[in-house]
Structure 1
Amino acid sequence: METYVLGDIHGAYRALRQVLERSPFRPGLDRLIHLGDVADGWPETPECVELLLRIPNSIWLQGNHDWWVAEWMATELPLERAYRIWLRQGGEATYMAYQRGPKEQIKKHFQAFFAKQRPYFEDENRNLYVHGGYDPTISIAKQEPFDLIWNRDLWRYGQEAHHYTECFIGHTPTWPASTLPCQRANVWNLDQGAGYSGRLSLMNVRTKEFVQSDAVPELYPGVKGR
């Protein structure tokens, strides 16, 4: 079994399909770890969720955008009453996508996907996977899940992920400075700006070989992302 790690998708279903088709990833044999933020930006969040639900042996981490979506799904507030910051940060595309689908899809995706996302994951090789980051001076088990989806300090300050072999994060786009997966100390950043004008990345954790989608705006001509 190989382990693959997937960056922030932000509703870009066409990019998700591309990286899975371009990668040697073997559904049902290999493990897929998604670093969070499946939602918000491009118009196909429900399709992304449906595809991830069909992949066996998958681990889904919660991103800050996923947290917003889960909060909305739990209440199903109308557009005018939803979090304004969420709507401004790509949430309106997610909201409208779910309005186009069957009403029962909201409850299904909340229960089967968003409610089952993890705050972090530690694998058998002492690798850590977390959406935003964490305070490396404190045991991650003692940290608030909300901080793990928002923290940017690990990447911003080039900190080492203490007590881990490697750490894999998303949340803080490397785009436009770099459209490739980037490493600082023992931390890998897999957010290459797919929510904006960058690309989606899928990496083999052991070999560091990776594939990427086309620049996402090319996959959605005439559509505005985040």
Structure 2
Amino acid sequence: MNRKLVIGDIHGGLKALKQVLERVNVSKNDTLIFLGDYVDGWSESPQVLDFLITLKQRQKCIFIRGNHDDLLMSYLKTNTFSEEWFNHGGKSTVDSYEEIDLQTKQTHISFLESLEPYYLDDENKLFIHAGFTNLKGVDFEYFKPLFYWDRTLWEMALALDEKISFKSELYPNRLKLYKEIYIGHTPTTKINKTIPINKACVWNIDSGAAFTGPLTILDVETKEYWQSDALPSLYPNEKGRN
């Protein structure tokens, strides 16, 4: 069995990550594609990065950059941060790094620097944290941070009238470029769901682990998915992201 498994936003929830990987029963032949936002929210952001670095040594993993990963990298390099980041998950991460030694921080910086902007497989399936805006696709994106900040791709997929034909001139060009697009970034809890949601060719795997939802892993081929317990139940003394 050679599965391709895509994993939603973790946000410092190491307990959830370990739990859902156990439920999937990952084999050494599986490919794990992480959609980013490994940190910020729950209290174990450094431990999540340690776990992922070790996991890559025994498993084929693809790690995509999320906006929170980019913000953490900036903090670790400069020891400065914006108030907005601090108030939206960054505080727990800043607190969790207080007891982390310099060598480990340098290892984490190297890992964060190595994250991929996106991954396009040999079946023309795109894996990206947030989205893109260029009508010709990711290779032509003029502002690369959109890969981990854009929300318009998902908003467009949600708003698309299902009666509009794929061949119609009204059908969005961005949704014609790739066979499937897998994203995180905007939790499905925003539409009162805690499962992966498919709209047009877009699959949103962020089931709200940063807030009140579980962490999700989905089999790209079969669309079977597995979930952890809801994160507040795994971290009962914490609030997660605000």
- TM-score, structure 1 as length reference: 0.93
Q: What are the within-5 Å matches in structure 2 for residues 105-124 of structure 1?
A: 105-111=104-110, 113-124=111-122
Q: Which residue of 2 aligns with 1:166?
A: 180
User: Residues 136 and 177 of structure 2 are in contact (CA less than 8 Å); yes or no, is this contact kept in structure 1?
Assistant: no
Which letter does structure 1 place at the counterpart of 2:215? L
Q: Deviations over 1:141-180 (max 9, x none)?
A: 1212201111111111216632211110000011151011
1:192 is matched with 207
Q: Which amino acid is the alignment partner of residue 105 of structure 2?
A: I
Rg (Cα) greater in structure: 2
Equivalence map 1:50-89=2 (5 Å): 50-55=50-55, 56-75=59-78, 77=79, 81-89=80-88
* 8 A Cα contact 2:137 2:177, kept in partner: no
Distance (whole Å) between structure 2 residues aligned to residue 83 and residue 38 of structure 1: 19
- 2:103 equivalent in structure 1: 104
Q: How many Å apart are 1:115 and its aligned residue? A: 0.6
Q: Which moved more, 1:64-73 or 1:46-55?
A: 46-55
Q: The residue matched to 1:53 in structure 2 has which SS? A: helix
Partner of 2:145: 146
Q: Give the distance between the partners of 1:198 and 1:72, measured in 2 at CA.
A: 27
Q: CA deviation at 1:136?
A: 5.7
5 Å-filtered alignment, 1:169-180, equals: 169-175=183-189, 177-180=192-195
Kept in 1: contact 2:134–2:140 (CA 8 A): no
For 2:210 and 2:179, locate their aligned partners in 1 and report how far apart those are by CA, in whole Å.
Answer: 29
CA RMSD of aligned residues (A): 1.3
Counterpart residue identity of residue 70, structure 1: M
**Could you list the runs of 5+ residues in structure 1 that have no partner in the other structure?**
none
Aligned residue pairs: how many?
Answer: 220
Amino acid in the other structure paired with 2:102: K
Shift of 1:195: 0.3
**Residue 45 (structure 2) aligns with:** 45
| Structure 1 residue ranges (4+ consecutive) displaced by more than 4 angstroms after TM superposition | none
Q: Deviations for 1:101-151, whole angstroms, at most 9, x for unmatched residues?
A: 22321111111x101111111011110000001126122112122011111
* 2-structure distance, mates of 1:97, 1:57: 28
Whether the 8 Å CA contact 2:7–2:34 is kept in 1: the answer is: yes
Matched, 1:183 2:161: no
8 A Cα contact 2:8 2:35, kept in partner: yes
Q: Amino acid of the residue matched to residue 29 of structure 2? A: L
* Distance in structure 2 (CA, Å) of the matches to 1:48 and 1:69: 13
Unaligned stretches of 5+ residues in structure 2: 158-171
Q: Which amino acid in the other structure matches residue 233 of structure 2?
A: E
Provide closer, same or farther for how the CA distance between residues 136 and 206 of structure 1 changes in structure 2, counting only shifts above 3 A: farther
